[in-house]
A and B are shown apart, each in its own frame.
Chain A
Amino acid sequence: MTIPAAFASYRERVGAALADGARFAGLHGTSDGALVRTLLADPDGTTRVETVAAKEGVVPSIVDIAPAAGWDEREAHDLQGVRFAGHEPLRPLVSHDPALERWVPVRGDDVYQLAVGPIHAGIIESGHFRFHLVGDRILHLDAQLFYKHRGLERAAEGKTLHEGLAYASRACAACSVANGVAYASTCEQALGLVPTAELRRARTILLELERTWSHLNDIAAICAGVSLAAGNNRFAALTERARRLNAALTGHRFLFHTVRVGGSELALDPDQIWAAREELASINAAALRGWRELLFNTSFQDRLPDIGVVTATHAERLGAVGPGARAAGLTQDLRANSPHLAYEGFSAVVPERAAGDVQARFEQRALELWQTFAILDELLDHPIQPASAEPSGDEQPIGVGRVESPRGATSCIVERGDRIERLRLRTGSYANWPVVAHAATDNLLPDFPLINKSFELCYACVDR
């Protein structure tokens, strides 16, 4: 894997994999910028890493054959100093250059720029949006994130695999379990371990508990996006109940400290299991009632269709993942191919009207929520014991782990010797931010909050 490969053959290998149906799943530079690695994922869930050595700091860009690699290459340039031949202009992503030229130049009559953020008007994470507009219509949106860049990946270098968990799971509270499980799976692959059935079940329950509050919160946020206070309050109250359930089961409302490398300490006795099942059934029933109310609220429903459209072709091209991709009709969900988790028999749902607009993404949340309640109902049928992973193969210098977070496919890579040499976490939010910018194009500026909330992405696990 460390043998320097010819530039042409790297591009050919990536191109051939993509032509065979593989999807781009991440690209990163090694800590010293000497190597660039591209993660590719086949539809059956297997992954491979293609590596190219930099010559005088330059590697060939793949952004022309895999547009989803755009942000990854810009990040590798800013953080590891890699230059990408053929990626022109290679605009800063993590580095914040105040010069106006860093923005996409928009010329013509009546075109103007509107700057929003990094501090927003509500309770929103920090990030800057640069709208290019004619009147109220959005011509182009540049999202400048990374205001919250804490250098987590860099800080994890030199740590042990066990210490590294904190850097992955504390990247983001909303995706703490998904990122933690992705990291733990990565390390277990590197250590030659596989989780036992009980460990798979424990982790799957945690992941679905996270998805429960997250999707309830997303529905509340979309209601807030059109100022429907009643719908917002209803689902915000259900989000609260889901978080209280998390606290009752694990001692933490966001399920912090529940994931461990090589095992799980989660223990739920029959009384806790029973109480959890009862509360989940009650939340499910209340969510169904609330959902029905929203379906019959025509003034609300009229606001959703044909706003923020991402067609299946564009979703595929831009590398969209998660509910946003499925709402455009892409039936991809990592849960369908997760041998290290307890998703036997799972298949992805897509809405009947998979138009890739706000309406479809809204409906997608509900469809996935009903699935999640069913999965939890099935898995929470007997007590949970602490569990561990078992040795099953050789240790590897590079581990890869992928998990379907509430916001989509999250990939984690760890390169290691005795300690972590490089940690890369590419979350569902990271994959989807360029899709949000695309979805906003050609829409009216006042619809942007609604479009944004229909994706409801995190900033924290993008910025890291």
Chain B
Amino acid sequence: MAHRLEKRVLLEHAEDPALRTLEGYKRLAGGYATQERAYKELEQDEVLQELEDSGLRGRGGAGFSMGKKASFLPRGEMAKYLCCNADESEPGAFKDRELMQRNPHQLIEGIAIAALAADAGHAFIFIRGEYDEQADILDAAVAEAYEAGYLGKNILGCHRDLELVVHRGAGAYICGEETALLDALEGKRGNPRLKPPFPAVQGLYGGPTLINNVETLSNVPHIVRHGAEWFKGFGTEQSPGTKVVSISGGVRRPGNYEVELGIPTRELICDLAGGPEEGHEIKAFFPGGSSSPVLTAEEGLDLPYSFEAMAEAGSMLGSGSIIVCDDRVSIPHLALRTARFYHHESCGKCVPCREGTNWTVKMLERMVRGEATPMDLDIVSSVQQNIIGHCLCVLGDSMAMPVGAMVRKFREEFEEVMADPELVLDPHAVVQAPPETLGAST
């Protein structure tokens, strides 16, 4: 039974392993009936209109209207492509993994309907190489869908073709960036491209390409089935629908919870995820993965969990992944851990990101070793300012925003650590309780 605060649409029946099979998906969730209706009865513009009216915002991080994005693709006879971004690599995010593992056919049906909206004949699921288990599940599901005639040539006798390929990446955070994903899919190193031209105009193999996140595409069958008005019945005016939120870090029940957008953040963290451990308090949290500026407990806990409320608070909903830091977490060490990730993952194409992440790590290391001077804090802040907006993609910004926010909001803690690094809590084991008391969710 789902928790009373949950509202399961995408994760409905997900507890049943039978949902993974085509037969189970049809029986439990009425699967592929929407694709059949869309292919047989609906025109491209009707599907596009429904998606645009629903106000569905991209669930990968940017929160851009999915219907609008699809409508940017030019019309006419040309090879067009659809890419499903399943390269979920943002620290703190693990919702797409759950959706692919438990309900692969929902995604495939979503891709088939979105391909109709985009008039694409070729679709790809770009899944990160680490998700081998989930890629195997998708491979099996795609084979079933081909077998049953929901993919392939002349689908359902409607004179429409769609080829779907599950493409495994090989371990690079940057491939989640849409243009780097296209380069990786073309068989190159995953380097971002200059925009414009945007992928909707010139993407994969130079053709117009629609790129959407797993969760976004998983919403598509539900919207086309029940209509835009139904979808807007969930969530807030500017953030309609439900959202699978990944909650991890210093909480008692980490995991994926599907809720209506706009739910109080405190309910998400403290009721659904069980809140911090006995005797501890929430110090700060990342509201949308490690790229989002941290919010202190006072700033963030009482906000509604929606795109607009998080943006107003100076952060972002991003991919919808909350990482909770309790009072044992040393913020300077957290900043270092965050910066190291982006330093490791920077592709090296743009100087501000390549050098900025490198120097941020070096300066933060000096700080936690007690070798920094007081002016280093200001230098770190200015380095962050010089990264933001100066690169082809937002990887550098994704470090600069959270690290900048940490220095700004917890400056005293940085100064304490710089003065006496011995004072810091054990930086390698912040939460000491044995893991089985924390994570068990079965």
Chains A and B bind each other: no
Residue numbers of B with Cβ under 8 A of A are none
| Chain A interface residues (CB < 8 Å from chain B) | none
